[in-house]
Amino acid sequence: MRLLTLKSGLAAALAGMFTAGAAIAQDLGNLEVIGAPKHGGVGFQPAVTELARDIHFLDGLLNYIIFAIVLFVAALMGYVFLRHNRKSNAEPARFTHNSPLEVVWTIVPIVILIVIGSFSLPVLFKQQIIPEGDITIKAIGNQWYWSYEYPDHEFTFDSYMIGQDAENKLTDEVVAQLEEAGYEKEHFLLATDTAVVVPVGKTVVVQVTATDVIHSWTIPAFGVKQDAVPGRLAELWFNAEEEGVYFGQCSELCGIAHAYMPITVKVVSQEAYEQWLDGAIEEYAGKPRTLNLASAE
Ligand SMILES: [Cu+2]
């Protein structure tokens, strides 16, 4: 056991040689920022999971349906304005009921809802039926930062917005901190000092809870969002297909600094993840790798 501890310690030390500064466990080189809002953007952030692609498809489908309904109703109203005004139709008909028409306008909306449901329910079920995860992470919402736990390795760390020290204001010092952490000025309010790190192409299950009030954990590019309720353990899952940095923000109004508890997820290669994990176990005093994992290296 001592030998193994030594081994993972060595790995962490080696990893440390290639990185610099205090945040050894967090420096993962130049990852591209993919999941972030863009100035003037109107669409969604790029989808990097099947769940997000499903949601985008559903949104597109609903837009077609809504557009068709709006066109139909607008055309009907136009027809009524032209054909049934006092000038062109001085003597209006006085009948009240039309059974076939009433049957049609009852059945057609039901059919539309069934069509929508047949597409939306499978999407919802796919999100809510949690698969067996390769990695489990616990995300804990606090006023006003997130804590993350990697239960398999028994370590926990906090994740604060860069700039929280400066009372959430964008000062020159905060810009310097952002740049030092590999971000840009425009990532203020999104970038955090530590990030959730996950390997690419693996199923990640995130257990979501909170310590004080209700928060909500989300990464738009993954198509996931889950309320963090104190005393309850909710779950979400994702499988990110592209390496990069992804941002999210607490999505449940949780108090005065609700806007200042963003979420940063770094999706990295399996090797980089292993290296980060060794560093994180070292830095956060987690449980060293088991014999199996160590000998499989
Ligand atoms: Cu919150």
Please report which confidence band the pLDDT of residue 26 belongs to, taking 50, 70 and 90 as the band edges: low
Cα(243) to centroid(ligand 1), Å: 26
pLDDT digits (tens, 9 = 90+) for 63-90: 999 999 999 999 999 999 999 999 998 8
- Contact assessment for residue 241 and residue 48, using Cβ atoms and an 8 Å cutoff: yes
Whether residue 77 is found in the same domain as residue 29: no
141 alpha carbon to ligand 1 midpoint, in Å? 6
What is the Å distance from ligand 1's center to 138 Cα? Answer: 15
Query: Parallel, antiparallel, or unpaired: how do β-strands 204-210 and 215-219 relate?
Result: unpaired
Q: Are residues 85 and 137 in the same domain?
A: no
Same domain, 88 and 162: no
pTM attached to this predicted model: 0.83
Residue 12 inside a domain? The answer is no
Residues 115 and 142: their CA atoms lie apart, in Å, by 41
List the domain range (segments joined by +) for residue 123. 50-128
Q: Do 90 and 148 belong to one domain? A: no
Same domain assignment for residues 29 and 172: yes
How would residue 285 be classed by pLDDT, with cut points 50, 70 and 90? confident
Higher pLDDT, 37 or 1: 37
Residue 106 reports pLDDT greater than 50? yes
Residue 94 resides in a domain: yes
Residue where a domain terminates, one of 107, 128, 149: 128
Q: Is residue 220 part of a domain?
A: yes
Rounded to an integer, the average pLDDT of 112-126 is 97
Whole-number Å distance, alpha carbon 145 to ligand 1 midpoint, is 7
Amino acid identity at 43: G
> Residue 187 domain-assigned?
yes
CA of 140 to the centre of ligand 1 (A): 10
Domain finish residue from 100, 128, 156: 128
In a domain, 87, yes or no: yes
Q: Are residues 151 and 59 in the same domain?
A: no
Give the Å distance between the CA of 192 and the centre of ligand 1.
Answer: 14
Compute φ and ψ for 254, nearest 5 degrees: -125, 15
CA of 5 to the centre of ligand 1 (A): 37
Q: pLDDT at position 293, please?
A: 52
What is the distance in A from the centroid of ligand 1 to the CA of 213? Answer: 8
Q: How far is the CA of 214 from the centre of ligand 1 (A)?
A: 7
Provide mean pLDDT across the span 114-136: 96
pLDDT digits (tens, 9 = 90+) for 158-187: 999 999 999 999 999 999 999 999 999 999
Sole residue written with tokens 């077609």? 64
Is 159 found in the same domain as 136?
Answer: yes
Indicate if 272 and 167 belong to the same structural domain. Answer: yes
Domain of 106, CATH number, reads 1.10.287.90
Q: What is the mean pLDDT of residues 107-134?
A: 97
Which one of 61, 95, 128 terminates a domain? 128
150 C-alpha to center of ligand 1: Å? Answer: 20
Q: What is the full DSSP assignment across 40-78? A: T--SPPPP-SHHHHHHHHHHHHHHHHHHHHHHHHHHHHH
- Please indicate, yes or no, if residue 291 is contained in any of the structural domains: no
Task: Tell whether the model's pLDDT for residue 191 goes beyond 90.
Answer: yes
Which band of pLDDT confidence, cut at 50, 70 and 90, is reported for residue 17?
very low
262 closest CA partner among 276, 248, 252: 248
Same domain as 179, residue 36: yes
Number of domains within the chain: 2
Asked whether residue 171 falls in the same domain as residue 34, the answer is yes
Task: Specify the pLDDT at position 15.
Answer: 42
**Cβ proximity of 229 and 210 under 8 Å:** yes
**pLDDT tens for residues 220-267?**
999 999 999 999 999 999 999 999 999 999 999 999 999 999 999 999
Cα–ligand 1 centroid distance for 249 (angstroms):
8
Spacing, Cα 174 to ligand 1 middle (Å): 22
Ligand 1 centroid, distance to 263 Cα (angstroms): 10
Separation of CA 142 and ligand 1 centre (Å)? 7
276 belongs to a structural domain: yes
Cα 168 to ligand 1 centre (Å): 15
CATH number where 143 lies: 2.60.40.420
> Given this model, what pLDDT does residue 142 score?
97
